[in-house]
Structures are given as structure tokens and as C-alpha cells.
Amino acid sequence: MSIQWYPGHMAKARRALAKAFPSQDVIIEVLDARMPYASSNPVVTALRLHKPCIKILSKADLADPDVTKTWIQHLSTSEAQASASPVGRVVAVPSSVERFAEIKKRIPELCRKLTGRSGANSRSIRAMVVGIPNVGKSTLVNLLLGRKVANVRNEPAVTKTEQLVTLDGGILLSDNPGLLWPDISEEATGLGLAFAGAISEAALDYESVARFGAELLLVRYPTLVMARYRLKELPSSGEALLMAIGQHRGCLRKDGVIDMHKASDVLIHEFRNGAIGRISLETPEHRLKSNENAATEIVHD
């Protein structure tokens, strides 16, 4: 299954990003802590080149904390790897509601450290916030500024145009529309992104997304699934789990048959809001995708 959801504003945003990247001092890439690799856009990786990068693992309060720790170590450039120059350095930082005060202080500090501009008379720092749709970019901008300047809703493609704000200390921050790559050809990637809410529901088969998520949860977090839906035994498949959810939650049509769309809706939304528990869809060892070979084709199409 190939998911193609690339609204016109994304194509425009991609062209604007390509022009703006060279003038930026540091890139702030917002990733979904539940699937940091799948939510990393190869376009951003290709355009960033050797610029220093802060990778924000948003929604860390919804992700498995132990898995998030391994992602932080995996994504960050170690001291041994870093050269004497900070250029190209990557620092990964978890972000959640509980960490807002820490994030508000740490991100500006990291921008100054990674660019080597900590002096009072140093010139201003240009930082760009990028990421896929509905990953938490605008929430981060509002947090850093201390007031609401960017629209935030739990759905993809809310931000349509670039928004510029200035933080204390002379950091010029730009928030950009969520950007996917034009053709998500790897099925696991598309289904994972859809399950987490990064792709519009109009562009996919809702029940297929739910079955994919159900099967993944049965493998990775069977105990949480059984506890949430009060199951006495583990279902044998994603389809069987959806049927059990439909039966338990009364998702029935008038003829008494289980309404799989309603059951799918229950699972998808309870995963997204954390009702099932703290869940990570991938680890550094087991990823939903492999996108290294996509960057050149996407950037130069």
C-alpha cells in the first residue's frame, strides 16, 4: 500500500524550506517519541547537511520511557563522535507536558551552545522548527515563546504558512507547515504514521490502519492491551483484537454484527491519547521504515 497525501501547501512549503535552510544556524526537528525514525522526514535530513540539529522527541509522555532513553542515546552525537567544532552536532531531547519548564530553558541554551554564540554581543541565531504534520511543532513554539502564537489542534496540516517569532536572547525562530515526503511507498511507514495521526484520515483505509496498529500492539505490548480491554486471553490477530474491542465496547450495527469501523475508531483514538498505556511503536533495533535511499529522489524530483 502506498499512501499519497501531499496537499498543495506542502509542496509550497518544501520549496520554501529548500531556499531557507542555507540561512539557518540550527535546525530543530520535532519527532514523535513513539516512532522517531518513521517520523523523521528524509527531505529534512537531506537539506540539513552538516548544520547542528536539536531533535525534539515530542509526546514523550505517551511513549515507553525505557525505549525513549535508548532513542535519545541512539540519535545524539556522542562526545567521542563530535569534533572540536560543534557544526553537525546532534542533540536529542525528550519533550512532554511534564518537561515544559525544562524544555523552555534548555532549547535556547542548546541553540547557543551548538552555534558557539553564547556571548552577550554575539549576533542573533536563526533556528528553524521542522517536522511532519501533527507532531507538535506549534506546541513547541508556543511553549518557547510563553504565549500562543501558533494554532494547535490534534489533527494534521493545521499550520499552512511559515510563522516567525523572536525568543529572549535574540533567537529568531520559524515554525513551518508539517511536511511529508510525496510518496510514502513503504507500507509499515504509512500505516504507522496514520496510526499516530500524522496523515489525514481521508487518505487511508481506516480499518487497515487499525488492524496494523492492533497487530503491532499485540506483539509489543500484549499486557497493556489485555488490561485495557479486559481480555481473558490474547487475541490471535489484529482482526480478532478489533472484534474483541467491538464486542466489549458495544460497537454493534443494528443487525448485531460488530461495527469494525467503530471498533477501529476506539483503538486508534485510545492509542493516540495514551489510554492504553505508554507505547513506542519502534525501537532503534526494530524500525517501521528504512528511508535513507529516498532523500535524493525526493529533494531533486
The mean per-residue pLDDT over the stretch 29-36 comes to 95
pLDDT computed for residue 153 by the predictor:
44
Q: Is the pLDDT score of 160 beyond 70?
A: no
pLDDT computed for residue 184 by the predictor:
62
pLDDT in tens, 35-64: 999 998 888 888 887 889 999 999 999 999
- Which of 133, 159, 183 is the last residue in one of the domains? 183
Q: List, in order, residues 6 or more apart from 255 with CB less than 8 Å away.
A: none
- Across all residues in the chain, what is the average pLDDT? 82
- Which of 162, 183, 204 is the last residue in one of the domains? 183
pLDDT band at residue 163 under the 50/70/90 scheme: confident
The mean per-residue pLDDT over the stretch 96-102 comes to 81
Say if residue 67 is in the same domain as residue 164.
yes
Say if residue 153 is in the same domain as residue 75.
yes
Q: Please state, in angstroms and as integers, the Cα–Cα distance from residue 35 to each residue in 63, 143, 152, 197, following that order.
A: 9, 22, 21, 12
The mean per-residue pLDDT over the stretch 252-262 comes to 92
Q: Has residue 50 been placed in a domain?
A: yes
Q: Has residue 241 been placed in a domain?
A: yes
Q: Has residue 172 been placed in a domain?
A: yes
Domain count for the chain, please give it: 2
Q: Has residue 278 been placed in a domain?
A: no
Asked whether the CA dihedral 91, 198, 68, 43 is positive or negative, the reply is negative
DSSP H or E segment with residue 20: helix 8-20
Say if residue 261 is in the same domain as residue 224.
yes
Say if residue 172 is in the same domain as residue 246.
no
pLDDT computed for residue 72 by the predictor:
96
pTM: 0.83
